[in-house]
Amino acid sequence: MTQFTDLGLSQPVLQALDMKGYTEPTPIQAQAIPRVLEGRDLLGIAQTGTGKTAAFMLPSIDRLRDADKQTPFKSCRMLVLAPTRELAGQIAESAKDYGALAGLKVHSIVGGTSVNKDRNKLHRGTDILVATPGRLLDLIDQKAFRLDGVEVLVLDEADQMLDLGFIHALRKISELVPADRQTLFFSATMPKQIQELVGKYCRNPVKVSVTPESTTAERIDQYLFMVQQDEKQTLLELVLSERHQVPGKFERVLIFARTKHGCDRIVKKLGQSGIPANAIHGNKSQPQRERALDEFKRAKTPILIATDVAARGIDIPGVSHVINYELPNVPEQYVHRIGRTARAGKDGIAIAFCAEDERDYLKDIRKKTDAEFERLPLPDNFRAVVEGVGPTKREPKQRMAKPKVRPTGNAAKAKPKQKHSNRKGKPAGAGQGRPQGGRPGGNRNRHRNRRRSQG
């Protein structure tokens, strides 16, 4: 079996891998690393969780060390573009681990953070920069950063960047980097737009593919619930509270919804049922997103609700279940979603909730991915629970009306007290505020002083 020592990597990189306990490369790493070390452009087609980050980072660190060039002022030697903040942060963290003994500087810049801080930390340049396209162009437009020093350009999860609307940003960046760079292009799917982009970015690239395009991981067991749209929340609560048995033991559960407001609504409803959860989506600030991911990683809050913006950015071993609360309307997104489980060689479970109006989405997913779903039955008492008559449905709290007490005796005959009026017939208390332009009673005092002076 192939070992990392067989791939031609330098001793500092091998020592860093040994410190992390890595000895055997994944298929994408075994095929890509020798070609990248040769300086070839590369097109890698692989699903998430197959080890793509190490496939491009390990040989690139070696090439940067061998070139032995100075860090360029206000620029970088290696630029890695990622679609989401979370993915950028994780790539940068891996780069620091792999290059711990190589003496290379690593920085990351993402949206949602201080532009001034990014400008200051990149003023002297860096060896490896991991960035989201939007923030990178912000700094370039401010003339705080340049791309003329780039030797290696990496586009990770390129299809996701197209889905998020970064096509114009990618074209602009391609015009700013040197033409003689090495380009490493990675994607989980290969739509026509990606093929066109590869033609513009790469020069005679070596193609490496470890799985058929748009197929789901073999280690993921996939299950399906057919349920009405307005009944999904109830089913989710029954499943998460283990009042309806589903395959596998819950460790960390990642739940996908289509919209930001949908994520927040699910979190709120789960909280009302005593099930703590966090949400992560584009409207959350960067500190909020980092806190939610940290609590999910430490299993402090092991339920995370996310939109597709997080489908490529969560690389956390131990995600036991992925639940598609709403099916994606783009079948490729299903591949990215369920790819959050079954990572690092482990098995995983994916559960889909499908309503009547989502049958076409399910059909497209089956056609595109050849996915085989095992249909699960709804709970025996599900209809009663939904209608609010089941034993597990909480009764809404009702506020008790205060009883009206009828007065008796002298209190019944007494008339309600009325406030006395002032001399001008105004209700008591009217006009007692501060008059405009003076202190209380200002006009009355002026008239009194005038009469005294006349007397």
131 torsion bin: left (phi>0), alpha (psi -120 to 50), beta (else)? beta
- What is the pTM (predicted TM-score) of this model? 0.69
Question: Which positions ≥6 away from 276 have C-beta within 8 Å?
Answer: 270, 301, 303
Residues of the chain with pLDDT under 50: 390-403, 421, 423-426, 429-438, 453, 455
Amino acid at 130: V
State the Cα angle at 50 between 44 and 56, rounded to 5°.
Answer: 50
SS3 sequence of 324-378: ECCCCCCHHHHHHHHCCCCCCCCCEEEEEEECHHHHHHHHHHHHHHCCCCEECCC
| pLDDT score for 194 | 82
Segment 117-158, tens digit of pLDDT: 999 999 999 999 999 999 999 999 999 999 999 999 999 988
- Token pair belonging to 421: 């009026």
Do residues 305 and 279 touch, judged by C-beta distance below 8 A? yes
Q: What is the pLDDT of residue 188?
A: 78
Structural tokens at position 61: 């660190």
What six digits make up the tokens of 52?
Answer: 């793509």
Q: 324 - beta bridge partners? A: 256, 352
- Domain 220-386, CATH: 3.40.50.300
Give the dihedral of Cα atoms 159, 164, 168, 173; nearest 10 deg: -70
4-209 in CATH: which number?
A: 3.40.50.300
Instruction: Catalogue the E-assigned strands of 273-318.
Output: 278-280, 303-306
Q: Please give the Cα distance from 27 to 315 (Å, whole number).
A: 18
CB 352 within 8 A of CB 321: no
Residue-level pLDDT at 447: 52
- How is the chain split into domains, by residue range? 4-209, 220-386
> Which phi-psi region, left, alpha or beta, contains residue 429 (left: φ > 0; alpha: ψ -120 to 50)?
left
Strand order in the sheet with 106-109: 106-109, 126-131, 76-81, 152-155, 182-187, 42-45, 206-209
Rounded CA gap, 138 and 122, in Å?
A: 13
